Amino acid sequence: MSKGFLFISVFLLLAVKPTIAQISHGGKPLAWNALSGIESRSAEASLFVDMPSFDVEEELRIDSLNESDMRGGYRFAYKFITDYNPNNSGVNFTLPDGTRVWRLGIRSPGAYSINILFTRYELPEGAQLFLYNRDRSQILGSFNQMNNSESGILPVAPVQGDELIIEYQEPAKAAFRGKLTVGEVNHAYRNLRGDEPRPGSDEYKAIPPLACYATGGSIYEPLGRSVVMMLIDGVIACSGTLVNNMQNDGKPYLLTASHCLNRSFTVSNPDYQKVAGRIVFFFNYDSPTCNTILKGTEEMSVASAKSIAINEQTDLALLELSQRPPVYYQPYYAGWNATQISNPPYAGIHHPGGSVKRISLSEDNIKLNTFNTIGTHFYDNCHWHVQKWSDGFTSKGSSGSALFDSEGYVIGALSGGLSMQDKPFDDFYYALSQTWTISEETDKQLKHWLDPANTNKLLCKGLDPYEQDHCLKLSNVEATGKQELIETASIPTTNTEPLFGNNSLGVTECAEAYTITGKALIYGAYFVTPSVTGSYKDLNVEVNVYGGTDKPQTLLHTEPFRPSYQNLNTSDNSFQETDKPLNRSQETYIHFSKPIAVDGTFYISYKITAPKGTTFSVYNLPKGETTKNTAWANYNGKWIEATTYPQNPFSTSLYIDPVIQYTTSVGIEDIEDNNPVRIYLENNHKTLRVLLPNGTEKASYELLSLEGKILQAGNIRSNVGIIPVNVSAKGIYLVKITCNNRYYTQKLIF
């Protein structure tokens, strides 16, 4: 089966803030009653357009007929071709300041979600575009002139529910009138949420999430950061992998499968450039926990790409993202092996069914074999044959994902196969070695792009494109290794109200404390939250950053807690951003509108304003699982530690993980000049993070006393090493890093 796509017409998947056409730029839509004198009832009659009905059962029957071992037939939406613009649809009105406003409602009864494509998108400076559902539980945008692109399209993420509202605001003195056309409307007749109940979703639960294997120091941690989920043309889901090239120049090349782009070869002579321009790429869509699979963060995405190399005879597809993923995405460009020699274990990291990132492992040797299916004619012996998975398997949506060898090199990408939960056998990945120079045409081979200087080397190491400016995710919860135990602590007297959320005790705000040695910038923070209790229509949550030595004191920044994701507006090929629902347990990334400078101790809080019966909270470590408290609560207007909470006091940590970038080496005195190794002390001196030189992914370390006694030793197996340390006394210590046949020593102050 093609393990690759999900046909969509309206999808209801992810939330992300893309770079090119998908990054949103803040702001809020107008109040609903801002219709400038138009009565709301008459306005609504002209506001909405209704999509015609279609036979869902017939679509499901057609889907079942399209099943094959290419696994490219998982459709979840129905596509309507439209032509809606401010001149022929919706309502137009002008605000007192001269701002011109266009609103259009799209209604498609029974849809799980609706996504659209702006097939024409060009906005003047100062204009803003929003998309939201009726109760504004999801809001995408704003999108503005920075989302303009050469292709003139904007695909946007799905909006939950069967009603979608578009709102365009244009200044009175705009340089030109904006050009907007909704060219496609996609109605999701399946709920595209791989870890939520829906037909066929149980199978994905048997594939372990990446969190089960990507613990600190694991080779799969950086490799996982190279894997993305792809939503193509609003109707297809596949997987892809960022790959490095021999120039180490940071070009964002992405390896996937050609059958993801041509609907399993059912489209003849597709315009691959057009298809590539209509893709949304989601980064870090991971469950933060292994045993209980949670919805991953959907706020990091890039929209649109260029087609670089396509070879339908091998299933090769190499794309170049329209923009390099920003530093706070923490992207990693995987290395590759284009030889025919590799060793187990092998790992496939992928997004089956559009779900959170999963991993499949094989302990057996693999060999080249021939893979053909109905309607395809791949070259003979151009695929790696994985005969058996020891853990996991692949499925629809996995297509295009990389196969990694024991050294972490990409050796192929998934074309298809027959593996399933009860029969984890026989998957086929096209081999990089067999498509390296298989054609003399540069747009049908890999070598020209991945070895542009013609070095003729067939091994390339991975790359962190931001090298020594790497961003780090700090986590007090994960530092304990007990994230699988997280809970929502309750007030004992009620057993229903959250201890670390808005409650009847007068708690209005909760915070998590972090201490770093030196100066850093905070780009944003991850929040792992349970489902909101009650209605979240009128819920308002603010994220605050405080400075302070012994408690939150100085307010440094405020950001609204309004998670959102991007998707393709298939009506006009434009990208749009949608607010993420809060009625589920999930991880969310809140990106700050500007990096916030911190030094020493800082606090990240969430301040809640909610109607009666609605509660918001963040997961915490259970009582007795940590002796060091980092959680705070604003109790009756005063900040107190969780250990002094009048109701149920205990030491805990809240699952809030800031993404920071150190601005100087911290807590370290360099002993050698020109030392290419950088080390940071984190989590209150409980963790060493080692950044190896560019291109280096193996090293050993020793932690020594000043007398030369070895206190700890071990190996580092990736460009970024995470080393838990256990130092019993304060003082000066040495760390020795050995790599590339040289050693580097640095002084640490604990």
DSSP symbol at 731: S
CA distance 4 to 260: 6
CA distance 388 to 364: 7
- DSSP run (H or E) holding 45: helix 40-47
Say whether pLDDT at 686 is over 60: yes
Confidence (pLDDT) at 413: 97
CA distance 509 to 459: 52
- DSSP run (H or E) holding 449: helix 447-450
State CA 247 to chain mean position distance. 26
Q: Which two tokens stand for residue 409?
A: 């090199």
C-beta separation of 539 from 561 below 8 A: no
C-beta separation of 239 from 4 below 8 A: yes
The residues, any chain, with a CB within 8 Å of residue 88's CB and separated by 6 or more, are none
CA distance 126 to 170: 7
List C-alpha distances in Å: 519 to 37, 64, 83, 464: 52, 57, 52, 22
Q: For residue 607, which of 579, 633, 636 has the smallest C-alpha distance? A: 633
Which residue ranges form the domains of the chain, and what is each CATH number?
Answer: 6-188 (no CATH), 472-563+579-661 (2.60.120), 665-749 (2.60.40.3080)
Question: What are the counts of helices (DSSP H) followed by strands (DSSP E) for the chain?
Answer: 7, 47
Confidence (pLDDT) at 15: 29
Q: Which two tokens stand for residue 728?
A: 């019993």
Apex 527 CA angle, 521 and 531, nearest 5: 165
Name the pTM for this structure: 0.73
Q: Which two tokens stand for residue 117?
A: 């494509």
3-state secondary structure 318-356: EEEECCCCCHHHCCCEECEECCCCCCCCEEEEECHHHCC
Give residue-wise pLDDT tens across range 337-350: 999 999 999 999 99
Q: For residue 720, which of 526, 480, 462 has the smallest C-alpha distance? A: 462
What's the mean per-residue pLDDT of the chain? 85
Give residue-wise pLDDT tens across range 309-367: 999 999 999 999 988 999 999 999 999 999 999 999 999 999 998 889 999 999 999 99
Give residue-wise pLDDT tens across range 617-653: 999 999 999 999 999 999 989 999 999 998 899 999 9
Confidence (pLDDT) at 604: 98
Confidence (pLDDT) at 11: 27
Q: Which two tokens stand for residue 636?
A: 């009756």
CA distance 234 to 575: 10
SS3 224: helix
Tell me what the mean pLDDT of segment 70-98 comes to: 82
Burial of 211 (0-12, 13-18, 19+ CB in 10 A): buried
Tell me what the mean pLDDT of segment 101-115 comes to: 91
